[in-house]
Structure 1
Amino acid sequence: MSCWETIGDYALRSVGIGERLLPRDNFTLCQQITLIGSGLIWNVYFGVLAMASGFFLAVAVAMGKAARSAWVRKPSEWFILVFRGSPLFIQFFFAYFFFLNLKSVSPFFDSLTSAGLGALIVLFLNTAAYSGEIFYGALRTIPKGETEAADAYGFTGWARFRRIVFPTMLRLAWPAYTNEAIFLFHATTLVYFSGFPAWQQKGDALYYASYFADKTFNPFVPYPILAGYFILLTLVIIWLFGVANRRLNRHMPQELRRPIRFRPNLIR
């Protein structure tokens, strides 16, 4: 089988398109690159949807934590504490068995035990908690002069938040939020190694890398391929967020613009 035939058979296998059976022996480099790249589709799926949906909850949580009312502030503080204080791996396990119990109550909850929805909910809540803390820190560092100028011009309520507070908060938080986005995409590799099983061997990139490592007893081929894919994915994220960062800071003098720097979380 040529490499082009392998790509045609396995490039979309992780989403159920193409050859159903995985190769059993005589593994080629092309097979490993293709299948691991196919699994990366799921990592991108989890990362993009969790980041896009978690952004709005993160803003709400940050505003809630900054609120004066304890009835609004305390739930936000506890939400951040629970999801930042517990390991993501444990959150996957807890959520899976919780959804499994709900499934036994009613078939309506059956979809929650699938990784495509159940694991996505966990990632959504986890990134919302971390991003909420980032946005809250940015809210605390908004220059007082900007809010005083907004008050002087008569901005109140939603108009004040939309035109003054939110853009400044986003600009200040964006470099740290970029690192959160990078970590989130890396964290998607935990999905199929926690409670959520892969259905019909439709796993993510790490799932296929582990498959080849187990079959060949040689981790020095599939895992470097996996690392290479995630390095490329990280570079794409940095570029995209860098474009957004320049857009957010377009009105600032060049010497005051904050560039995007990659600062990985060593412990989480």
Structure 2
Amino acid sequence: MNKPKHRIITIANQKGGVGKTTTAINLATALAAIGENVLIVDLDPQGNASTGLGIDRKDRKLSTYDLLVGSQSVLEVTMPTAVPNLAIAPSTMDLLGVEMEIGRESDRVYRLKKALEAPEASIYDYILVDCPPSFNLLTMNALAAAQSVLVPLQCEFFALEGLSQLLETVEQVRSTINPGLDIQGIVLTMFDSRNNLAQQVVSDVREHLGDKVYHTLIPRNVRVSEAPSYGKPAILYDLKCAGSQAYLQLASEVIQRERQSRAA
């Protein structure tokens, strides 16, 4: 029986500070820990996913910029990390120039898709794409390449307002450039059980979106916040902390949903 094609999941939200990169790093680590072969594609010019996995800026000789302009392949830009089964295609500030470089090309939104359809990318079971906190050509490439989008949503007052804009964008992408794009799920991040407003946000989001919302809540957690400064995922930095345990639980939900979508 042929092995199913790898799953490409884009992690996106146009709002900054909602836990996109933290989710990308720790979900990827959790998937790798259970034996999946995982690649993170860092499409944020800030490069926080690369830094958070201990990839020094001076060591990023090639990056996702080279991938998008078509000068290098996935195999050439990918670097190993300290996490077994987890590699990264790192980011550099060069990504800020991608719009000028390929903005007039007819295939500009499909550059990442083409790169990830190359045979050498088939060694990965999961490819997670970490996006910048905006809707630009980088995010459009990530959405065009993915089978599904995972949305981290901070438990705060304006959460639903930002989410409706995001869902509209996903619908536009589906109707124009990627009809196969699905919402993998919405993960509620930075949850504080002592905060009544956070409890209300959880209730409202579940009421509006039902089973699209993961059961797992990612708590506000000091150890998770500290981990990137040590160049480690929280799961390696402190496996037993509440945040790490939540990401392991989220990984099992993601796998379950992916199996259901493959079977459908």
TM-score by length of 2: 0.26
Max radius of gyration: which structure? Answer: 1
Higher strand share: 2
Higher helix share: 1
